[in-house]
Structure 1
């Protein structure tokens, strides 16, 4: 059974796995568009086609929480207190005013107002997290331990955010605090059995969702997967431009990494089921 609103979709599964899709959205409110430098810039940093890449999750009976709202409106994977997830490193805010490349999102004279962040938090951030919390609580009533798997992707080269080429798989566990080491090892093993490269707790250690909901002692194990786009898209190296980004989703090109991701999710389920108390 699904729960739907204009922008928030929840697919209710029964397996001990919750899949979060916080950055695949591209929706922009009509009254915001005239204030933006361009709608393309406002959508540039979306986690493109990740919902398509992981659409097999429903076949695994996973619960899926997905927002269609662009991260430019509000980033549901940022700490609402304003605390940086990566102190000393470039990042974006709860309501971003620049792209990952540092380009201004708002037109001069139409900048983000100080009162808008709280309103967007009420309209979009709070409902997304209420859905996550409700689904975690529901699954915990049936399972001794569950996995919250947070799905992300980013361009392989973003010099403002990190040096060099990002590995294909970037696993984040808040330096081991958000999940049991056995879950991390299961996901690593699934990645390492492939031809793609992998790092754990490198540049991306897990965002607000991973850090907030990962409570291993309470049976809730959270892990983030940040994919380099070249693993599933025909991504050209270097800066991207309107009309050339994003590339269309190509099922045949994405198939190799998609098969690995299926094994990753199956590994998370294996971990969760292994913790069942009969």
Structure 2
């Protein structure tokens, strides 16, 4: 069963979209509530929003399975990335609105969770791990851009309304400060969209696990508010009008990542690409 899609790029940058998948295997779907089947917390349409990435030479890795099957941005050991929040589980039991995902008595037990980690979680992370090291070995540096989206208001996790662009670097641990500063300069230039660095969304398991600046592997998480490109309520329509306004700034941001990565890449390897 195919659980992710991967396309290599020709730059030191990899785009990961771990929460865009909507596929739920029939045996798991049979145990879920209607609310669970509706998947209100999926990062919908991000693959469509970032469709320009391959043209910049960026490789991409996107999940096919829903985060309700297993959350690829959670630690398999259950360690919470951001203490103080009300986190969802590796195999979430409730939605962001605290509604049950499973029918009573049909929640996944330990054995089922371990099965899902092996079948759905591990393949994604094995590909992510191997590609980042391949990029670092090829270019001398690798940058992971972990793309997410979230409703602009989720009382379970934060008060009020989120900024439009929420950049997370694990409180500064997952990426070099000059790279982060360059990206914040790009975001700060916008008169339309607001931005925050390591605010209420500081990054999950993926960037904290793979971002190792001392080993020339840098990782950044971006949480876009869904109101910038789609309807936040069902049926969660993609909004081409909103996306058309958002994409130029998003492309400038991704171009800045690629530019910085090339500047840090080995001269010989860059020359081979050119």
State TM-score, norm by structure 2.
0.93
Q: Deviations over 1:110-156 (max 9, x none)?
A: 22222111110000111000000111122112212121000000000
Change (3 A) 1:29 1:234: closer
Residues in 2 aligned to 1:23 and 1:219: alpha-carbon distance in whole angstroms: 26
1:203 aligns with 2:200: yes
Range 135-144 or range 147-156, more displaced: 135-144
Tell whether the 8 Å contact from 2:35 to 2:99 is kept in structure 1 after alignment: no
Residues 1:54 and 2:71 are matched in the alignment? no
One of 212, 222, 225 as aligned partner of 2:222:
225
Which of 112, 119, 131 is the matching residue for 2:115?
Answer: 119
Q: Report what 1:257 is aligned to.
A: 246
Asked if residue 245 in structure 1 is aligned to residue 235 in structure 2, the reply is yes
Q: Is the 8 A contact 1:42 1:70 kept in 2?
A: no
From 210, 213, 216, the counterpart of 2:210: 213
Query: Distance between the aligned counterparts of 2:235 and 2:161, measured in 1?
Result: 18
1:130 equivalent among 126, 130, 134: 126
Structure-1 separation of matches of 2:152 and 2:34: 23
Shift, 1:7, TM fit: 2.3
Change (3 A) 1:6 1:109: same
Deviates more, 1:105-114 or 1:260-269: 105-114
CA distance in 1, matches of 2:86, 2:42: 17
The aligned runs of 1:29-40 (5 Å cut-off) are: 29-38=25-34
Give 1:101's match in structure 2, choosing from 86, 97, 101. 97
Matched, 1:171 2:167: yes
Q: TM-score, normalised by structure 1?
A: 0.92
Q: Deviations over 1:35-88 (max 9, x none)?
A: 111165551100011111111111111110111100000001001110111222
SS of match in other structure, 1:170: strand
- C-alpha offsets along residues 207-234 of structure 1, whole Å, 9 cap, x if unaligned? 1110011011111110000011111124
Q: Aligned partners of 1:21 and 1:142: how far apart in 2?
A: 23
Aligned partner (choices 106, 110, 131) of residue 110 of structure 1: 106
Q: How many residues align?
A: 266
How large is the Cα RMSD of the aligned pairs? Answer: 1.3
Structure 1 runs of 4+ aligned residues shifted over 2 Å read 39-42
